[in-house]
Structures are given as structure tokens and as C-alpha cells.
Chains A and B, each alone.
Chain A
Amino acid sequence: MVDHVLIKNGRVIDPANNLDEVCDVLILDGKIAEIGRFNGAVAKSVERVIDATGKLVTPGLIDIHVHFREPGDEEEETIASGSAAAVAAGFTSVVCMPNTNPTIENETDIEYVHRKGRQARKTHVYAMGAITKKREGVELAEMGMMAEAGARGFTDDGHGVQDVSVMLRALKYARMFDRVVAQHCQDDRIVGQGVMNAGYYSTILGLPGMDALAEESMLWRDIQLIRKTGVRYHAQHISTAGSVELIRQAKKDSLPVTCEVTPHHLLLTEEMCAEYDTNYKVNPPLRSKKDVDALKGAIADGLVDALATDHAPHLQSEKELEFLAAPFGIASIECALGLYVKALIDPKILDWPGLIRLMTLNPARIIGIDKGTLGRGRQGDVTIIDPDAEWVVDVNKFVSKSRNCPYHGWKLRGKVDKTLVGGELRFEAD
């Protein structure tokens, strides 16, 4: 279905073109045709006119880190349910992580994710492939053929590549393809059986801790490998003050290193685990206030390239287990925007254009897709946001299949009003 749409009178924010003004966006044949002021005649010629007065009109939001659990754990989430949740949260593109069952590790797997995404007809659904077969960190997965099939990068997410020689080989091999290699930085030997941040709270709660060093030592190691190989590298969900300093140095040295931060590492801290509520069990773990402040500082300093939810749905029955036994993960995609507003706009760390950049243009560049801007000729992926709308998170109203969300009951500001994908209205708030 081809769509001609005119979005009128919104505050149009397009960081790629340094645009932030009240005007109209014209979409013809599903593509951005023009941004400016249009008269009534144009309005009559299009099929749909959207009045965006008082709203923000931004490039479609992009989340480069989601777990939609398909194939393998469809009772937790599917690509259909996950992308429906995503589009309701203003996202027009998402990148699924390969830690499914089986692992996304060859071109057929990548094509499977794409096909399920197309069938769902919600957001664009991309995938990263595994760096190593079965994410075991031993043998390289078929990176070349996955790249050909459209994989947006490679990661063993959920897990870091432990063996330095394997990681070095992966980075060297990845030189053949223009794809990012992403890492969940965590040294398994340091982390051991840890289930929360190592510190005062893990000590008094009697839970095995995950030392910040586990993240930082692998990130440090990888940065040295990037110095040698020069491959584009993306540090996923960095969570510690030490990681911020490593990223700062890497950027100072002009290395091709990017990083992302999740909403929970900006809003939640380790002491929230004190009641053994497994909704706060996440990997990397919630850290200290000092780390949260460092991450916010990093965003203020422009060191953080992208915001990503790490949406990680789990069954209620699994999250009802003992803290030690429950799985890691927070399902947060549906409240992402409001969480970022709370973490970054309310305390004046970012303004709206700054936030939109971290949710559109930058993530698009990391994964190498021609999106994240309202430039002429681009696909009509547009998100319309009511920046002042206040709402209360209610997990029971989630489109996602899962409810493992610690933000239930939180009052948030900033709500997605409409989401257009390729000029087609895919979500509209009631």
C-alpha cells in the first residue's frame, strides 16, 4: 500500500540536517518528499493529513539492541509481538540479538528473522549474527554469508568472546565486510556465578557479585585489539564509570569505537535488588550511583553514541524464581522514550534534538543503514511524539508478551503518538 501523507505543523527534528523547527513533512510514495510549508492544495492531494501541532516529528526511532526470543522462546516474545511493542513505542527499526535457540549464526537464520519481521508488518526488523558458532567463543560463525544476507553486525551478546585469540581472529576476519563487531563486555572468569553488581549490596544480600572489572577488563582488551585491527567496534550496554573512561580514551585516540547505554543503567541502581525482586536482575547488572552519574556525564560529553533498550522479555514463572536462579533481563521497550526523557531531558543532560540523535541517526550509522533522518528520498519512517503527555507505566497493558519490567507504576513524560513506517501508519495512540 503506497501512502501519501502530510504531517502538518509539528516541531520537526532531524539531527542529520540540523533541523529543529515547526514545519510540515510531506511523504509521497512512502518516501520523504519534502520538508517545508505546504498549502491547502497539497493537503488535498495526499491521502492522509496528520495534524502534529504541539508534537515532535522525528525520524523513526531505532533500537539496536532487542531480544525478541524467536526462534526458540516464543512463549516469552516473538518477532511479531516484539515488533508490535516496538512500533507502539515509536520504533521503526530494531536489531534482534542472535542469542536465540538455535543461535542466529548463518544466512538462513538471518533470513528467517527478516521474513518474520516482514510478516509482522510492524517495524523494520534487522538482526545481528553471532561472532562464533553457538556463541561458544571457539569457532567463527559464517560472518560473510550473514553479512550478504543483511546481518547488521556481529555479536555473541549475552556473553562476551572470552578467548582473546578468537576475538582477534574475528576482528581480523571482519575486515572483509563493512560491518560492526559488537561485544557484551564481560569476563566470565571474573563474574563467576555472579547475579548482581559486586559491592556492599551483594555483600549484605549474600548474593555472588559481578565485579565492574569483568566489564572493564574485556573492554580494555578489545580496545587494544581495535588499535591493531581497525575494525568498527561497538561496546554494548556499557554500565560502569571505568568503561566510560575507556571509551573516552578510545575516542580521543580516534579509534572506530562506539558504545550504547540502556535506560536501566541510567535510572536504576544496585540497591534496588535489596528485596530480591528479580525484575532488577539484569546483565550487565545495575551498578552504583557513581556509575549512573558517570554514564550520564558520558552522554553529556557526547561519548555515548546510542541509546538501546536491551529489551529482554522473560516469563513470569521464570522471574518468580529465587534471585539466584531467575534469568537476567528487563522488558522495557514500551516505556523506552519516557525513560530516556526522565533520565536525560528532565535533568537537562540532553535537549530533544540531542536525545533524538542518540535514538535515530547515530544508531543507524552504527549498524550501517540508510535511516535515522528525514532527508529527502529516505523511507518515510517517522515518529510523532507528544513531549508533554504524562502517563503511568502499566505492564498489564504491554503489547509485549512479557511483564518483567521494574518500571510498573512509574509516572513518565513523553509519549509516542503515531509511528509511520515507509509512510504507512503502523501505530496510533488512542
Chain B
Amino acid sequence: MSRILNIVERHTHHSSRRQHSMTMAIMRKGKQFRWQRKHLIGLRDLSAEEIHYILDTAQGFEQISTRSVKKAPPLRGKVVVNLFFEDSTRTRTSFALAASRLSADVVEFTMKNSSVSKGETLLDTARNLESMGVDIVVIRHNAAGAPKLLSRNINACVVNAGDGYCEHPTQALLDVYTIRQMKGSLEGLKIAIVGDISHSRVARSDMWAMTKLGAEVTLVGPPTLMPADVGRLPVNTSYSLDEVIEKVDVINMLRIQFERLGGNPFPSIREYSRYFGLTVERMQRAKPDIVVMHPGPINRGVEMESEVADGTNSVILRQVTNGLAVRMAVLFLVNQAAAETPA
């Protein structure tokens, strides 16, 4: 269980034994596996094996948060910059905490609304960061593809903390981590993702991660909040939460992002909640051990009634806790891959 942790400590204290320790780390189910990505851009490109490897690594880190001295040394001397072009509280805090628990120096770099007319371009920002010698850039950006653009133009590792409505890989990783924790495995599970699918990067990353790990995913929401050509995605779709609620093992309720909704995709919040809200009444028709998730922050009374959010099936706060371990794992792995690949 604390395999990774041991490795982390051995690795830094006995660098001569590094090779040996790494070999330990790459043993998974008796199979040799080597993490090779110095960027984490999205989960669409990852294999199931890679996802499991991150989750296993996270499991090793989980303990650190429960110790009295909440620090491990693998990123000592490294600089992690939180480059956030969009508002965020929990993701940014979670990344900052994860980085500092791994002993990195964390720099906050917040810029709202990148655009050519309002100052520096993303690439200029990247070149500046490069000149300051950062090792890992955690980026959140309103434009899909911004992390990829950055990764092509910078030597540092790039970790996507959410880009437009493309991907939010660490959120999905912590979601599947939590599900794995609750259910043992995702293989064969039925999972519903409910809400504004079209504007949700969480829905996309979740969909990739969950289907790769063997779950059967159903996207639920009004047709006006479904993305184009949804039929070509490896998922089912439904416009009826009532039909889906009885069948699923896990339900992930997306936040209605009022700031992203253009042009009245549903008539009123009241009507939205009527059809897509997770109410106490609907919960009575769900499987008793259904796992209720939400990426936060919750609009109480819109996508979920408070009794449900705070109820016994809810793992919402556990998700937040797990986010820390998952982000530590991601930072650890990309840094390791960067160290192994010549610049």
C-alpha cells in the first residue's frame, strides 16, 4: 500500500538505489510498466494501464495527508507554477497543497481572460516562465487546447487543470479513484453523468476515464445541453433522469455553470431541477448503495437537494480529499518522466 511512499523516500535518501526503487515502482500486476509522459493534457490519449498507474501511485500518497508531518521530499528544489487564467478555488488550492506536500516551491500566477488585445499572449507568458526556470506548469485556461499549445512550446512539464470544455483530467482521475475506492473496480459499473454535458470538461474527462476502465457511461441532460454528434462517443445518452436513476451504480451530478450557459438552454431553473435534479424522491428509486458524486461547487437545490448532497450516499467531500493524493501522483509522475527524458 505504501509502496510508492517507500520508494519516494528511498529515492531521495539513497539516490544510488534510485534505479532499483524505480523498478519497484513500475511493477504493476507483475507487468513492467513505465510512466513516460512529462505532460498530462487529457485522458482521451491515456491507456487504461496508464490511468491505473496514476491511481496506484495516488494510493501510495494518500497516507501523507493523514500524518502529522504532511510532507514528502520528491519535488524538493522544484518549482511548480499555478498558471490560472480562469477563476478557481478548489482546484488551485488542491494543486498548491499537493505540490507543497511534495516539497516543491509553488508560485501562483493568476491572469484573467487571456486575449491578444488585453496583453501578453499565452506563448509569451510561457517564454517568460521558461526564463524563470519553472519545472511544472499547472494551467487552467478558458480556451480548449491551451495546455497542448503550452506543452509544445515549453520545456517544463505541463499539467492541465481544466481547459475550456475539453478536459479536466485530474478531476476525472479523482472521480475514478473515488469510485474505485468505493466499489473496488469500475469494470461493469453503470455510471450516469447528469447535467450540462456540452459545456463540461469534467463530463468529457470522466467519460474517457470511466469507459477506459470498463464502466458503462450514460450522459443525461436536456438535448440543448448535449454536444454535437454525441452518438459517436463511446457512451449512451438519455434525456430522462427518471429512466436512468434506477439502473446506475454511480451518479455524477454536474454543476450548472451559469457563467457558461449561452442563450437560455432550458426555460427555468425550476424546470431544470424538475427533470434533472437529484432529489430525495429520486434517491428513493435509486440503488441503495448508489454513489453520489459532484465536482463542486454545488448549486444546492438546483442539481441536487441538500439532503442528498449531505446524505450517506454522497462522497463529495471524499472526492476533495482524494483530489490531493491524485494531484500529488500526477505531479510526481510528470516530474519523474521529465527527469528521465533528456531535454
Contacts and interface: CB of A to CB of B under 8 A. Distances in A.
Scoring A206, A317, A323 by chain B CB atoms within 10 A of each residue's CB, the highest score goes to A206
A204 interface: yes
Contact of A323 (B121, B144, B227, B263): B144
A200 B230 CA distance: 7
A276 interface: yes
B116 A211 contact: no
B164 A200 contact: no
A276 B167 CA distance: 14
Contacts of A209: 227-228
Contacts of A205: 144-145, 166
B185 interface: no
A207 B141 contact: no
Given A321-B116, A325-B114, A199 B145 contact: no
Given A276-B145, A276-B148, A276-B149, A324 B228 contact: no
Contacts of B122: 321-322
Contact of B121 (A202, A204, A276, A317): A317
A207 B145 contact: yes
Contacts of B48: none
B229 A320 contact: no
B145 A202 contact: no
Range class of the A interface residue count: 20 to 34
A206 B202 CA distance: 11
B165 interface: yes
Contacts of B116: 317-318, 321, 325
B163 interface: yes
B204 interface: yes
Contacts of B141: 322
Interface residues of B, number: 30
Interface string A307-329: 00000000001101111110000
A322 B143 contact: yes
A418 to B, nearest CB: 41
A206 B116 CA distance: 21
Contacts of A202: 227-228
Interface in B101-135: 114-116, 121-123
Interface string B134-159: 00000001111110110000000000
Nearest to B115: A325
B161 to A, nearest CB: 14
Nearest to B148: A276
Contacts of A253: none
Contacts of B263: 192
A102 B60 CA distance: 62
Given A203-B228, A203-B229, A206-B167, A322 B145 contact: yes
A198 interface: yes
A contact patch SS: loop
A275 interface: yes
A324 B233 CA distance: 23
B232 interface: yes
A198 B228 contact: yes
B233 A206 contact: no
Interface string A81-94: 00000000000000
A203 B165 CA distance: 9
Contacts of A207: 144-145, 164, 166
B201 interface: yes
Nearest to A273: B145
Contacts of A203: 204, 227-230, 232-233
Contacts of B164: 206-207, 324
Interface in B284-319: none
B262 interface: yes
Interface string A284-327: 00000000000000000000000000000000011011111100
Interface in A207-223: 207, 209, 211
B44 interface: yes
B121 A206 contact: no
A324 B229 contact: no
Contacts of B149: 276, 322-323
B163 A206 contact: yes
Contacts of A318: 116
A276 B144 CA distance: 8
A206 B144 contact: yes
Contacts of B165: 206
Nearest to A323: B145
Given A202-B227, A203-B229, A204-B204, A325 B166 contact: no
Scoring B145, B148, B164 by chain A CB atoms within 10 A of each residue's CB, the highest score goes to B145
Nearest to B205: A206
A50 B80 CA distance: 66
A192 B262 contact: yes
A193 B165 CA distance: 13
A324 B144 contact: yes
B121 A199 contact: no
A209 B228 CA distance: 8
Nearest to B163: A206
Contacts of B227: 202-203, 209
Contacts of A324: 142-145, 164
Given A204-B204, A206-B165, A207-B166, A320 B228 contact: no
Scoring A204, A317, A320 by chain B CB atoms within 10 A of each residue's CB, the highest score goes to A204
A200 B229 CA distance: 5
Nearest to A210: B228
Interface string B255-281: 000000011000000000000000000
A318 B163 CA distance: 20
Interface in A175-199: 192-193, 198-199
B140 to A, nearest CB: 13
B166 A206 contact: yes
B115 A320 contact: no
Give 7 nearest A-B pairs by CB, closest first: A206-B166, A276-B145, A322-B143, A206-B144, A324-B143, A203-B227, A200-B229
18 contacts: A192-B262, A193-B262, A199-B228, A200-B233, A203-B229, A203-B233, A204-B233, A205-B145, A206-B144, A206-B163, A206-B166, A317-B121, A322-B141, A322-B144, A323-B144, A325-B115, A325-B116, A325-B143
Given A207-B166, A275-B148, A276-B144, 5 more contacts: A202-B227, A203-B227, A204-B204, A276-B149, A322-B149
